[in-house]
Amino acid sequence: MLQEMKEIGSHAIDIYDYLVAGVDPRVKDYPLMQSPIPMTIILLCYLFFVLYLGPRIMANRKPFHLKETMIVYNFLLVGLSIYIVYEFMMSGWVTTYTWRCDAIDVSDSPQAMRMVQVAWLFWFSKIIELMDTLFFVLRKKSGQITFLHIFHHSFMPWTWWWGVGYAPGGMGSFHAMVNSSVHVIMYFYYGLSAAGPRFQKFLWWKKYMTAIQLTQFVLVSLHATQYYFMDRCDYQFPIIIHLVWIYGTFFFILFSNFWVQAYVKGKRLPKQGVQPCQNGKAAIYANGKHHENGVKHGMANGTSNGSAHLENGSAPMGKMKKA
């Protein structure tokens, strides 16, 4: 038995060494890219804090408001997302890529290295975005810390570490560019929402955030689907395409269900605190949340101001049975 365990351990180490050895040498000098262990530790600490330590620390404490912090945080992410989109475009997507079967440029040319850099930066932005959940914990918005939210915020950074490590660029980077484009809109929305009720009149388009998300998943899945109908494609890591297709399709289904429940069946109508406002609209301020026209504020893609978080798969699945 002991010998078998040693053999299993030896095989596991061999597999680990093999996988790490395959990481693109061009990214190994970037922070946290020498090994998947530091990244994995960060994500485990994140899970430990949001699922166990954080709620216990906050159990007998008043929630933090963090208004100014969240405004700065959200608008900094807007700026970062704009920069990431621009770099993806200039690194290939509007310069040399065909938008079909684009192989990874494995050279050390300036453009290839530019793509490597922005691919890493996209991954690192996912580490920064772990703060979304930390804000929920510190503000005692436990209803927003759903299974899907945590799954997305932990699973995506972990898988993208391998994506950047093996495939920094090419066809598989399309979804990263699209996702960052959505983040420009999303965090701008969050920033305005966090600024308080006086900015609510500028958030009339909140319902369309879910539509933007659905469009994202359609584009990503359609782009990946091309691969299955090509006579020949020299993209070096087809498994990335498979994962992107599964991811896009999976979240399209979840968000479609959310859209039906929220806007077709109207199962997210507020139950209390209705106050008449101009133009026949109702504004509800309960526990720092804003509602309009009977629809819960943040219904479409959530807000950082205590409303539901719907970012790229982090749907407000509380009260929706995590579906």
Q: What is the phi-psi region of residue 230: left when phi exceeds 0, alpha when psi lies from -120 to 50, beta otherwise?
A: beta
Q: Would you give the DSSP letter of residue 62?
A: P
Whether the Cβ atoms of residue 213 and residue 316 lie closer than 8 Å to each other: no
Helices 174-194 and 110-128: crossing angle in degrees, nearest 10, is 40
φ and ψ of 311, to 5 deg: -70, 115
Whether the Cβ atoms of residue 194 and residue 214 lie closer than 8 Å to each other: no
**Torsion, Cα of 62, 150, 74, 56 (10° steps):** 20
Other beta carbons within 10 angstroms of residue 299's beta carbon come to: 24
The DSSP bridge partners found for residue 282 are 276
Task: Kindly tell me the burial class for residue 232, based on how many C-beta atoms sit within 10 Å of its own C-beta (0-12, 13-18, 19 or more).
Answer: exposed
Spot the catalytic one: 149, 152, 153, 291. Answer: 152
Q: Output the six-digit token pair for 173.
A: 């980077």
Active site residue 152: yes
Task: Kindly tell me the burial class for residue 279, based on how many C-beta atoms sit within 10 Å of its own C-beta (0-12, 13-18, 19 or more).
Answer: exposed
Q: Which strands make up the sheet holding 274-276, listed edge to edge?
A: 274-276, 282-286, 289-292, 295-296
* Residue found by looking up tokens 């109508």 in the block: 269
CA nearest to 141, candidates 220, 54, 213, 77? 54
Q: Which residues are catalytic?
A: 152
